[in-house]
Amino acid sequence: VFLWENEIPDLSSVISFSHKNTIMSGGKIAKALIGGNWKCNGTVASVKAMAEVLNKAGHFSANSEVVIAAPSIHLAALKSYLRPDVAVSAEDVAFKTGYGAFTGEISADMLADAGINWTLTGHSERRVGFGYPGETSHVVGVKTKNAISKGLSVMACIGEQLADRQNGTTMNVVSEQLEAIKASLVEADWKKVVIAYEPVWAIGTGVTASPQQAQETHAEIRAWLKKHVSATVAAETRIIYGGSATASNCKELYSQPDINGFLVGGASLKPEFVDIINCTK
């Protein structure tokens, strides 16, 4: 039994978002991106149940844009279940565009045709691989461009392993990943990009980067964008934190000036995800 019994509110005034992010007086981007990544989880019944939790949660924070990345087999059903102010995202997109002999792939064209307007690219689990070689940064850059070229927005994931953090080479790794994305894009494409910083050592481990650690790296990423892309892109691009954000730590993390939301893993499958959405109030 879920605790939220409110009717779905009238959302007609809040479901249209501008490509240009509004900057608050303190310099922080006003509209946070709260993303859920369901990974390889969900049954027909549990997907419908989690949609019901979100649908009955009442008004979300006006400062949060909510996007749920779900396994491809559930995308159409989830989209049909969810309230209109929650977008649905793919968890990956094909290296090739169009239609053809790409067995097992889902192209950006197919996602757009199905009304799926978001995708993840470059998630750390796909970069590492599942018992076989993972995706290179070049592959991630091409996939990011493919999605944008078909009108999708992208949560492009970057981040370092534990050894990189311990060796002080976090920005070396992150810079290489960003450079590959930049190489595939033109400046206008960045309006469709959200950067998801994932310290890999803090994903699913219960260990979270401190707010100060997360802020430091987010600020360095923004400085990289300013130096290598443009000051406008640096100021307007949302950089979200993807390292085990929970209802208990999200407010402190979000208080940092360069943290513009979250990419939430396991907690996005639980009712506490509503608390994370509303931590931006």
Active site residue ranges: 123, 198
CA–CA dist 119, 88 (Å, integer): 8
Q: CA geometry: angle at 195 spanning 137 and 38, to 5°?
A: 90
96, 102, 106, 109 alpha-carbon torsion, rounded to 10°: 50
CA–CA dist 118, 67 (Å, integer): 8
Distances (CA, A) of 179 to 39, 137, 141, 227, 229: 26, 9, 9, 12, 10
User: Could you identify the residue written with the tokens 């595939």?
Assistant: 184
Q: State the burial class of residue 30 (Cβ atoms within 10 Å of its Cβ: 0-12, 13-18, 19+).
A: middle
